[in-house]
């Protein structure tokens, strides 16, 4: 769960920095949000690839654990 939070915080930080820089260059309103989303998405894709892989693995482990827990409860219920 920690990796999910770290990745989310990093994405928000990159978005905030990007929006701040764009605001300094004069972007306002909807254009500011749109450009910040696009640019921060590309930057995050490049810079956070390792963190994204760790987050993905953590989410997959959690889903696998939940599935195993569900299957055990179904097996117990059928018995």
Average pLDDT score, the chain: 91
Q: Is the Cα torsion angle 40, 41, 43, 49 positive or negative in sign?
A: positive
pLDDT, residue 72, reads 81
pLDDT tens digits, one per residue of 11-62? 999 999 999 999 999 999 999 999 999 999 999 999 999 999 999 999 999 8
* Number of alpha carbons in the 13 Å side-chain half-sphere of residue 4: 8
| pLDDT confidence tier of residue 79, bands split at 50, 70 and 90 | low
pTM for the complete prediction? 0.77
pLDDT, residue 62, reads 87
């Amino acid at each position: 769960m920690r990796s999910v939070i770290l990745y989310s915080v990093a994405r928000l930080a990159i978005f905030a920095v990007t929006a701040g820089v764009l605001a300094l260059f004069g972007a306002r309103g909807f254009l500011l949000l749109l450009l910040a989303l696009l640019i921060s998405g590309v930057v995050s894709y490049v810079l956070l690839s390792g963190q994204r892989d760790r987050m993905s693995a953590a989410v997959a482990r959690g889903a696998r654990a939940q599935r195993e827990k569900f299957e055990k409860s179904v097996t117990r219920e059928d018995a």
